[in-house]
Structure 1
Amino acid sequence: MSIKSKTHNHPMITLKLTLICLFFLFLIFLLLRSNFTTSSFISSSTSRTSNKDSQSQTNDYQTCNKIPPSLSTALLHYATSKITPQQTYQEISVTLRILQRKSPCNFLIFGLGYDSLMWASLNHGGRTVFLEEDLSWINQIQKKFPTLESKHVKYNTKLTEADRLFEVGSEHELCKVVGDPRTSKCELVMKGMPDEIYDVEWDLIMVDAPTGWHDATPGRMSAIYTAGLMGRNREEGETDVFVHDVNRPVEDRFSTGFLCQSYLTEQVGRIRHFTVPSHRVLSKPAFCP
Structure 2
Amino acid sequence: MPPQEPANSSFFHILSPKPALNLTKTIQKPSLKMSLSKRKLILILIFILVSASLVRVLRITITTSYILNIEPDPNTSNMRPNTYGDKMLSEKELRFLSDIILQKSPCNLLVFGLEDQYLKLPAINEGGKTIFLEDRPEKLIKMTGNANGSTQVFRIRYKTSAKEAYKLLKHARTHSSCSLRSGIRTLTAKCKIALTGLPKEVFKTKWDVIVVDGPGGDSPESPGRMGAIYMASVLARAGNGTNVVVHDVDRMIEKWFSWEFLSEKNLVSSKGKFWNFKIAQKKKGGFFETTGVKVNNIR
Query: Normalising by the residue count of structure 2, what TM-score does the alignment of the two structures yield?
Result: 0.62
Q: For residues 139-191 of structure 1, give each alpha carbon's deviation from its aligned partner in whole angstroms, at most 9, with x where no partner exists.
A: 34315x34452101111101110011111122323211332267334221112
Residues 103-139 of structure 1: CA deviation (Å, up to 9, x unaligned): 0000000011211221111111111111000234313
Alignment of 1:122-133 (within 5 A): 122-133=124-135
Q: What amino acid is the match of 2:112? A: F
Are the structure 2 counterparts of residues 120 and 181 from structure 1 closer, same or farther at C-alpha, using a change threshold of 3 Å? farther
Shift of 1:86: 1.4
1:76-107 CA-to-partner distances (Å, cap 9, x unmatched) read xxxxxxxxx71122222322222222100000
Evaluate the alpha carbon distance shift between residue 7 and residue 163 of structure 1 in structure 2; reply closer, same or farther with a 3 A threshold.
same
- Mark the runs of 5 or more structure 2 residues left unpaired by the alignment: 1-78, 288-299
Counterpart for residue 88 of structure 1? 90
Q: Which AA in structure 2 matches 1:273?
A: N
3-state SS of the aligned residue for 2:132?
strand
* Contact 1:182/1:191, CA 8 A, preserved across alignment: no
| Structure 1 equivalent of residue 219 of structure 2 | 214
Matching residue's letter, 1:116: Y
- Find the counterpart in structure 2 of residue 254 from structure 1: 257
Contact map agreement 2:109 2:207 (CA 8 A) in 1: yes
For 1:220 and 1:231, the matched residues in 2 are separated by: 16
Task: Provide structure 1 residue ranges, at least 5 long, that are not aligned to the other structure.
Answer: 9-84, 285-289
How many residues are treated as equivalent by the alignment?
Answer: 203
CA distance in 1, matches of 2:178, 2:248: 24
Aligned runs of 1:28-43 on 2, under 5 Å?
none
Cα RMSD (Å): 2.4
1:155: which partner in 2? 158
Deviations 1:43-65 (A, max 9, x none): xxxxxxxxxxxxxxxxxxxxxxx
Q: Which residue of 2 aligns with 1:111?
A: 113
User: What does 1:37-186 correspond to in 2, within 5 Å?
Assistant: 86-143=88-145, 145-147=146-148, 148-176=151-179, 177-180=181-184, 183-184=187-188, 185-186=190-191
* Mean CA deviation greater in 245-254 or 171-180: 171-180
> 1:283 deviation in Å?
11
The answer to whether the Cα contact below 8 Å between 1:181 and 1:229 also exists between their aligned partners in 2 is no
* 3-state SS of 2:244 partner: strand
Bigger Rg over Cα: 2
1:92–1:136 Cα change, 3 Å: closer
Please tell me the residue identity of whatever aligns with 1:203. Answer: D
1:124 is matched by which residue type in structure 2?
E
What is the CA–CA distance in structure 2 between the aligned matches of 1:225 and 1:137, rounded to whole Å? 23
Distance 1:281 1:102 in 2: 24
Say if 1:113 and 1:141, in contact at 8 Å, map to a contact too: no
| TM-score for the superposition, normalised by structure 1 | 0.64
Given that residues 178 and 279 in structure 1 are in contact (C-alpha distance below 8 angstroms), is that contact kept between their aligned partners in structure 2?
no
The alpha-carbon distance between structure 1 residues 224 and 187, as it changes in their structure 2 partners (threshold 3 A), is: same
CA distance in 1, matches of 2:268, 2:182: 22
Conservation of the 8 A alpha-carbon contact between 1:246 and 1:271: yes
Answer whether contact 2:147 2:153 (CA < 8 A) is retained.
no
Q: Does the 8 Å contact 1:181/1:190 carry over to 2?
A: no
Contact 1:178 1:233 in 2 (8 A): no
